[in-house]
């Protein structure tokens, strides 16, 4: 009877907990633009370019920002790609311009009229003056549209409100791509050595040129390359290897370890799953010599397993090549010289049985703690609020708290 009564007492709390679980996913699943557009076949080509240029990662990283994404039908996107000369770097500029950093729908435009709005293109620093803005235009009758901020730019009318989540997120289809003179201009990557030198990485540039690794980098730039260039001070660090006395093979390994055979700008690195290994040019078939990413807010660091190096600045972001600077050398574990040698473990005869048992238990406890921490981190990451208002999420959290308290 006591057990039956206990179960009955738990029923209200269990029901509240179930309601909480049903409410939280929609409020906490996060905004994923490519996943949303997967449900619309007419935007398949647009979605493809969002992924290839990694603009999707920039959009998804702004979970707390109100945004309006101006999408293009297959024909309009084909026109944009042709105008950009097929260059992914140029197409990326345009897709950033079509990512507006505010919420718009017909009701808002008709209420407030014409205005100017910032875009991702302006936010990245690639825009000159106000060219990175778009104009929101209230047209006749029920129509409204968007245009470039330059004088005389054509107005691209909104033909469909694909999705609207008031004051948080909207997807609108426009008749044609928004363009202006200079939008498709991209930085030259023809002289990698000069780019490195201008970024304050002269020592690294000299080593790359003298070792022959420059040809390896250049051969990968057209298909996908992310290069992490350490500044000159990094080679003077106490735990940095002596590159002057390294064998040619070790030097090549060190330099290849500073590059990923894929396009991963800083925003995309932030989206990498914690602990997931990233393949470098030095990675072996057995999986040795990879790196992992540690991201916290806007800070991104690269972890070799022995040390970490912060990603400092973006020098060039020109799909499919990205040049980033880092604060310290990325050293493959077998070449690392800064780690202190571990003290030899005591023999069974020297250590008491209880100490040996504790030593044996310690790794599993540490692993359990790490797994628990990873679980909490993933849980926090998955709870970024997307289109639901913050008040709804707070209410859901309150219900969860009450339900869990009742169960406990």
**145-181: pLDDT as tens digits:** 999 999 999 999 999 999 999 999 999 999 999 999 9
Q: How many domains does the chain have?
A: 2
Residue 136 lies inside a defined structural domain of this protein: yes
The reply to whether 329 and 196 lie within a common domain is yes
Specify burial of residue 297 (Cβ count, 10 A radius: 0-12, 13-18, 19+). exposed
Q: pLDDT tens digits, residue range 325-350? A: 999 999 998 887 654 444 444 444 44
In this prediction, residue 127 carries a pLDDT of 52
Longest CA span, the chain: 91
Residue 217 lies inside a defined structural domain of this protein: yes
The reply to whether 118 and 200 lie within a common domain is no
Phi, psi (deg, nearest 5) at residue 97: -65, -30
The answer to whether the CB of 224 falls within 8 A of the CB of 262 is: yes
Q: Is 67 helix (H, G, I), strand (E, B) or coil?
A: strand
Instruction: Pick the last residue of a domain from 335, 361, 390.
Output: 335
The reply to whether 198 and 315 lie within a common domain is yes
Residue 355 lies inside a defined structural domain of this protein: no
Q: How far is CA 19 from CA 12, 154, 175, in A?
A: 11, 50, 42
Alpha carbon distance 43, 53 (integer Å): 16
Q: Mutual orientation of helices 2-28 and 390-407 as an angle, nearest 10°?
A: 160
In this prediction, residue 338 carries a pLDDT of 56
The answer to whether the CB of 97 falls within 8 A of the CB of 131 is: no
pLDDT mean for each 10 residues of the chain (408 residues): 49 44 42 96 98 97 96 98 97 97 97 96 66 93 95 96 97 98 93 96 97 96 97 92 94 97 96 93 90 93 94 95 97 74 45 37 36 42 38 46 46
In this prediction, residue 297 carries a pLDDT of 87
Residue 314 lies inside a defined structural domain of this protein: yes
Long-range contacts, 389-392 (Cβ 8 Å, 24+): 389/168, 392/23, 392/27
The reply to whether 131 and 227 lie within a common domain is no
The reply to whether 160 and 225 lie within a common domain is no
CATH code of the domain in which 247 resides: 2.30.180.10
The reply to whether 83 and 124 lie within a common domain is yes
The reply to whether 293 and 202 lie within a common domain is yes
Alpha carbon distance 259, 253 (integer Å): 10
The reply to whether 198 and 168 lie within a common domain is no
Residue 367 lies inside a defined structural domain of this protein: no
Q: Is 231 helix (H, G, I), strand (E, B) or coil?
A: coil
Structural domain including 221 reads 192-335
Q: Is 250 helix (H, G, I), strand (E, B) or coil?
A: helix
Residue 274 lies inside a defined structural domain of this protein: yes
The reply to whether 200 and 138 lie within a common domain is no
The reply to whether 202 and 149 lie within a common domain is no
Question: Cα-atom radius of gyration of the chain, to the nearest Å?
Answer: 26
Residue 385 lies inside a defined structural domain of this protein: no
Residue 384 lies inside a defined structural domain of this protein: no
The reply to whether 144 and 226 lie within a common domain is no
The reply to whether 251 and 156 lie within a common domain is no
């Amino acid at each position: 009877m006591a057990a039956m009564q206990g179960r009955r007492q738990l029923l209200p709390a269990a029901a509240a907990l179930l309601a909480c679980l049903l409410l939280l996913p929609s409020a906490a699943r996060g905004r994923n633009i490519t996943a949303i557009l997967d449900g619309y076949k007419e935007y398949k080509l647009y979605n493809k370019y969002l992924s290839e240029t990694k603009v999707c990662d920039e959009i998804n990283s702004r979970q707390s920002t109100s945004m309006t994404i101006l999408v293009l039908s297959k024909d309009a996107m084909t026109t944009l790609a042709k105008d950009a000369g097929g260059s992914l770097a140029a197409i990326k500029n345009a897709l950033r311009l079509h990512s507006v950093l505010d919420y718009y729908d017909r009701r808002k435009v008709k209420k407030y009229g014409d205005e100017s709005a910032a875009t991702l293109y302006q936010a990245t620093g690639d825009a000159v003056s106000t060219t990175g803005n778009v104009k929101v235009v209230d047209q006749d009758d029920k129509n409204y549209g968007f245009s470039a901020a330059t004088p005389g730019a054509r107005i691209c009318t909104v033909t469909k409100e694909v999705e609207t989540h008031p004051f948080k997120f909207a997807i609108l289809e426009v008749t044609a791509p928004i363009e202006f003179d200079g939008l498709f201009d991209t930085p030259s990557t023809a002289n990698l050595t000069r780019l490195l030198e201008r970024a304050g990485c002269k020592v690294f540039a000299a080593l790359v040129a003298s070792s022959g690794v420059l040809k390896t980098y250049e051969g990968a730039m057209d298909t996908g390359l992310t290069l992490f260039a350490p500044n000159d001070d990094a080679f003077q660090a106490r735990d940095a290897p002596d590159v002057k006395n390294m064998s040619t093979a070790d030097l090549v390994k060190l330099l290849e370890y500073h590059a990923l055979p894929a396009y991963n700008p800083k925003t995309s690195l932030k989206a990498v799953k914690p602990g997931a290994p990233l393949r470098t040019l030095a990675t072996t078939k057995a999986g040795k010599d990879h790196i992992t990413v540690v991201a916290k807010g806007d800070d991104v660091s690269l972890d070799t397993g022995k040390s970490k190096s912060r990603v400092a600045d973006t020098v060039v972001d020109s799909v499919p090549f990205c040049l980033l600077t880092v604060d310290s050398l990325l050293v493959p574990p077998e070449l690392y010289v800064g780690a202190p040698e571990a003290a030899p473990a005591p023999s069974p005869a020297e250590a008491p049985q209880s100490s040996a048992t504790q030593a044996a238990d310690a790794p599993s406890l540490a692993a359990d703690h790490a797994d628990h921490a990873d679980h909490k981190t993933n849980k926090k990451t998955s709870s970024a609020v997307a289109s639901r208002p913050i008040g709804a999420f707070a209410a859901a959290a309150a219900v969860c708290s009450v339900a869990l308290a009742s169960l406990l």
